[in-house]
Amino acid sequence: MTANDIWAIVPIKELDGAKQRLAPLLSPAQRRALIEVMMGEVLEAAAGAKSLAGIMVVTLDPQATALARRLGARVVTDGARDGHTGSVTAGLRLLAREGRGGMLTLPADIPAVTAEEIDRVVAAHRPAPSFTISPAHDDLGSNTVICSPPDAVPLRFGDNSYFPHLDAARRCGIEPVIVRQPGIAMDIDHPVDLAMFLALPQSIGTRTRAFLEETGIPALLSAPPG
């Protein structure tokens, strides 16, 4: 157990049909393969972080379950079909009932994240009651959130959750800590995100980048329209 007793919550929905917004560039099989690679990199980064007391994966997907267990993560199914917010909320409520010190949530589609980035965000987190956030590159998404205690602030994720989360923390009497990290910031949802990820120095050496190069995505992105 770490001094802060912070657990990571990683919600992973069922992989079939994942990443529909990448359909213009990737086939269903390629999209599934992409999320498999990305979730592996995220879970491995969390497993390597020295600041976390444990990892909870909220999922019903058999492959995600198997990977999580191989990495020593705890698998929870409650809330797994309730969307990102529902999955995280189910996980944090469980941690709160168990008296855990805090929770940190990560999405499964930030493949450039590193254990060191996670540790830096946790290092900036203040004693409870506290709220720390590391936003998406566009300052719309809330890619990493830490709450101490786990249910300190009501959470609602979505395409425009960053500033609402800042407001929610302040309504709870907590001044949020903001920590920007390039790997955490780079989530992959849209075709334009693939180009931004490939341009990110931190993507070099990732399995996700190797997969995209193998599938010819750089050439597709650089081809003239028409």
Sign of CA dihedral 71, 73, 78, 80: negative
pLDDT in tens, 124-134: 999 999 999 99
Please tell me the pTM assigned to this model. Answer: 0.95
Average pLDDT of 56-74? 97
SS3 label, residue 162: helix
pLDDT tens for each residue of 6-34: 999 999 999 988 899 999 999 999 999 99
Residue in 31, 86, 24 with CA at minimum distance from that of residue 60: 86
Domains present along the chain, CATH in parentheses = 6-214 (3.90.550.10)
Cis omega (within 30 of 0) for bond into 149: yes
User: Confidence class of residue 2 from pLDDT cuts 50, 70 and 90?
Assistant: low
208 is written with which tokens?
Answer: 């996700």
Strand order in the sheet with 102-105: 74-76, 54-59, 6-12, 102-105, 144-148, 130-134, 177-178
Q: What is the pLDDT of residues 140-197, one digit of tens each?
A: 999 999 999 999 999 999 889 999 999 999 999 999 999 999 999 999 999 999 999 9
pLDDT at 226 over 80: no
Q: Is 186 buried (19+), middle (13-18) or exposed (0-12) by CB count in 10 A? A: buried
Of the candidates 171, 170, 124, 125, the one whose C-alpha atom is nearest the C-alpha of residue 148 is 125
User: What is the number of other CB atoms lying within 10 angstroms of the CB of residue 134?
Assistant: 27
User: Which residue carries 């070099």 as its tokens?
Assistant: 204
Q: Which letter, b or e, does each residue of 141-163 get, where b requires 16 or more Cβ atoms within 10 Å of its Cβ?
A: bbbbbbbbbbbbbebebeeebbe
